[in-house]
Amino acid sequence: MSSDLMPPSNASFPGDDLFDWYDAHGRDLPWRHRWPALAPVYHLWLSEIMLQQTIVKTVIPYFLEFTGRWPTIESLAAAPVDEVLAAWAGLGYYARARNLHKTAQIIAAEHGGIFPVDQKTLLALPGIGPYTASAIMVMGYGQPGVVVDGNIERVMSRFFAIKTPLPKAKKDIAAAYEQCRPTARPSDFPQALMDFANAVCTPKAPGCGICPLANACRAYADDMAEQLPFKAPKRQKPTRRGVAFVAINQDGEAFLERRPDQGLLGGMVAFPSVGWTQTDWSDADVRAADSAAPFAADWRQLPEPVHHVFTHFALEMTIYYAETNGSFIGANSGWWQVPQPSQLPSLMRKVWKQVETSMHLQARPKKP
């Protein structure tokens, strides 16, 4: 360990103070148990997959729905993938749901419904990367290990005043975590750090005045806590353009289709669309998009597009709308159904809301 990572006066990490804080102020989350109890690994794994790129407040109702419908990993494995995808709708990053279902089937069929206590085997499962594998080992099985998410990166960066920008600093942060990791309460340590980062060591205006670690914190001593961690400049996300086609029949049903399993919104129910998975669609392509409609109809462009942000790009989605008798589909596979927003991915919810607002569909009678 480099001396650059030592806290002021070579003081040790005040782990007991952190645990005292956690015992008094830690969050009670439905997937969490406290040492010496360990959370069911199925619950821990499910929560960790849901929490990727998603905040705790959003995840809790989804977690409760999943564990209510599928209380064991065997029941999740036996569920039709379409039901799993529909229950996931709104959480985004839909490859997570497909991988979730695949992993459940593998664990049920090949491991007797029990996650292996082996990092290498865990890493071979769909959707499980180094962080999730470590979380299962440490928080699910109480094994020693390094569990570092964005919250813990912030605490370690500040406590040791690590000035190397992220993501380059990840190696130093992992080493700092290893230096601090206590032998007692291994499953509680990362959870205590996460809650502490959420409540005290916050990204902006950290609560250094009430921080139980402040006396040993190097960033606090250097009056630079709020500046850390340093991050490399973000690249501006490119903007893509696309078109969604929303056709409504006389019963208030919309024409829907299922997207291909691979790619963005894979396997999800959606309105037909074109263009947005490519990088080179121009305004002219959008204006001429009615030629790519799923079938011939009196397609009209709505005045306002919807905007959505994916991980690597921003999207401007123009909407073409048509009213039909619903008697033709053409060569495309699909079906007519009154849209259920809860079963649509976030982008398509925005599309449907825009259509309802623009065309005043709420006032139209709909088929039950």
Query: So which residues are the catalytic ones?
Result: 48
Question: If you ran DSSP here, which 8-state letter would residue 237 be given?
Answer: P
**CA–CA distance, 276 with 263 (Å, rounded to integer):** 12
From residue 246, alpha-carbon distances to 195, 336, 337, 352 in Å are: 44, 11, 12, 8
H or E stretch at 318 = strand 314-323
Tokens matching residue 220: 């606090």
For residue 100, how far is the Cα from the chain centroid? 13
- Ramachandran region of residue 39, left (φ > 0), alpha (ψ -120 to 50) or beta? beta
Range list of β-strands (E), 128-279: 239-248, 254-258, 269-270, 273-274
In which residue are the tokens 């960066």 written? 157
